[in-house]
Amino acid sequence: MDLLEGELEQIQSDTGAILQHHGTKRQELIPIIQEVQEKMGYVPKPAMQLIAEALKIPEVDVYGVTTFYNQFRMNPPGKHQIKVCMGTACHMMGGHIVLDCFERRLEIKEGETTPDREFSLERVACVGCCALAPVVDVDKKIEAKVSPIRVDGILLTYDIEKQEQEKKAKLEEEQKEGEEKGGQVE
Amino acid sequence: MSSKVNITIDGEQYQVPAGENLLWAALDCGVYIPHLCSIREKERSDASCRLCFVEIEGIPNPVTSCTQEVREGMVVKTRTPLVDRLVKTGFELLLSDHKLRCGKCPKNRQCELQKIAKERKLKLKLTRLRPLLTEEEPVDDSAKTFIYDPNRCILCGQCIWVDHHKVEAGAIGFINRGFDRKMGTFGDVSLAESICTQCGECVKVCPVGALTFKVEEVEKG
């Protein structure tokens, strides 16, 4: 995942602030990573390097701990968060097919974020509505009985939404420009 | 002179230095106990390979010998039905996630797994279990002098210990979890792209064909 402009500085200052109120013992490692994730929504690699430096442990050890625990995200959360349920009922009803569909359509793997940061894909253990299996949680809205066709539908909705927003923004801009020009003529 | 203690291994009397680890004491006396993860200089063994089981009189169940300190009058049995069963299962589990194909392996005939199989008359083939259906990881040949094949790695952790404590490079470590767990670098980049100094110390300690020098291949080919 490439960092956006100015993001590196932000990560460094945030991580530095978090490190300041922690000790330098190895036992502080997980609390620090947790706090970094809470602050930024994920654990960026530059932050891991800073943590390793502060605790005087190899950076690969920090990376190992972060990749070991499911609670830690390695990629920034997307604008739209897609969570595919992989609980028992959803799994039996083809949850993995749905996940596969999302992976192919978005061209990312589970746990990753699209390069434009529009979508992030995750698997969850159970959403709590097994009667509607297979379930997908899109931005905290539950999609019931999802089929591969519905996957296309969900993504299409966001595509159209995005296009409309862009159109609207364009129109507004044009209107503004028109008004300004009109004012000049008068 | 450091004090010695008397222990009995498989009916034979031995005199070993006090405070010694049972596994290494037995190996010094010429008694072979299978082992992969134990490192002599390491203070506390991981006991993660589950192969160095022995039965000690007074302890109801078999124990890993690498975590036992020798005691005066200790009576140890290295081969009992219970021990053999544990070692057999442990060995099979190791093989289930190990690319076998010994004929093509550069470590063929010098492999620790082959040695254990020969000593304990175990099969280098999966019979009870099925091999894992995970996809094969790409082989990393980016380093100048050696090759890293993650599919042959048995996760003993010897290379990582050497990297952290002897070379102090801190380039490699265990990453990911479960079936995806492997020896890797920060950010899972290739060894050449990482801070690895390519000293080759980790290659020397690898008991299997996961880390091998490139020269050997040229000589054989």
Q: Which residues of chain A have pLDDT under 70?
A: 1, 183-186
What is the rounded average pLDDT of the residues B14-37? 93
- How far, in Å, CA of B173 to CA of B185, rounded? 6
The answer on A85 and A17 residing in a single domain is no
Cα(A55)–Cα(A45) distance, integer angstroms? 15
CATH (domain of A131):
3.40.30.10
Mutate to test the interface with B, among A26, A29, A59, A60 (most CBs of B within 10 A): A60
Tally of domains in chain B: 2
* Structure confidence at residue B135 (pLDDT): 82
Domain that holds residue A133: 80-178
The DSSP-derived string for A152-180 is HHHHHHHHHHHHHHHHHHHHHHHHHHHHH
Asked if A48 is an interface residue toward chain B (Cβ–Cβ < 8 A), one would say yes
Residue B217 above 80 pLDDT? no
| pLDDT value, residue A48 | 94
Res B112 pLDDT > 60: yes
B173 to A63: CB separation less than 8 angstroms, yes or no: yes
Nearest chain B Cα to A64, which residue?
Answer: B175
Of B164, B184, B188, the CB nearest to A58: B164
Q: Does A60 touch chain B (CB under 8 A)?
A: yes
Residues A34 and A124 in one domain: no
Which member of B169, B173, B187 has the closest CB to residue A61?
A: B173
Chain B residue nearest residue A48, CA to CA: B186
Q: Which domain holds residue B109?
A: 96-219
Q: What is the pLDDT of residue B221?
A: 44
- Both B168 and B211 in a single domain? yes
CA R_g for chain B = 19
Are A32 and A85 part of one and the same domain? no
Same domain, B212 and B111: yes
The domain tally of chain A equals: 2
Angle separating helix axes B81-96 and B112-119, nearest 10 degrees: 150
What CATH number should be reported for the domain holding residue B31? 3.10.20.740
DSSP string, B70-130: --TTEEEES--HHHHHHHHHHHHHHHHTS---GGG-TTTTS-HHHHHHHHTT--SS-SSSP
Question: Which SS3 state, helix, strand or coil, does residue A84 take?
Answer: strand
Q: Which of residues 137-176 of B touch A (CB under 8 A)?
A: 164, 169-176
Is residue A117 in some structural domain? yes
User: Is the ipTM beyond the 0.90 threshold?
Assistant: no
Q: Among residues B11, B179, B30, B218, which one has the least CA distance to residue B98? A: B179
